Amino acid sequence: MFEESELVNLFSGIIGLIILMTFGNRTKMPHIRFFYVAFALMLCAYIATVAESIIWNTFLNYVEHGMIALAGLSTAVACWRLHKASHSGQEFGDGQ
């Protein structure tokens, strides 16, 4: 059936999404969209993890790990662009 930790991750991700949607637009951090993409990819990975215990376990396992890899790549790009913007004198909010 379902692993408890997988359900906890999914519910935590949903709660995090609610918080992000509520307060995330208030930030002036440049290139925030890459962090949003990474968060969405992780949430999709959590959904795939829970769904793989019901149907298409092998396929959804590949989907899960692909989403996690893409989320890591998106986070790395966001951090790199944030670092680059902070050293170029770019104002916060200009990288949107």
Q: pLDDT per residue over 11-63, tens digit each?
A: 888 888 888 777 766 666 666 788 888 889 999 998 998 888 889 889 999 99
Does residue 95 surpass a pLDDT of 90?
no
Please say whether the beta carbons of 35 and 78 come within 8 A: yes
Q: What's the confidence (pLDDT) of residue 63?
A: 94
Q: What's the confidence (pLDDT) of residue 96?
A: 46
Identify the residue with better confidence: 44 or 88.
44
Q: What's the confidence (pLDDT) of residue 22?
A: 78
Q: Is the dihedral of CA 17, 19, 23, 27 positive or negative?
A: negative
Please say whether the beta carbons of 33 and 93 come within 8 A: no
The rounded distance, in Å, linking the Cα atoms of 18 and 38 is 15
Cα angle 60-20-75, degrees, rounded to a multiple of 5? 60
Residue 76, CB-side half-sphere exposure with 13 Å CA sphere: 6
Split at pLDDT 50, 70, 90, the class of 94 is: very low
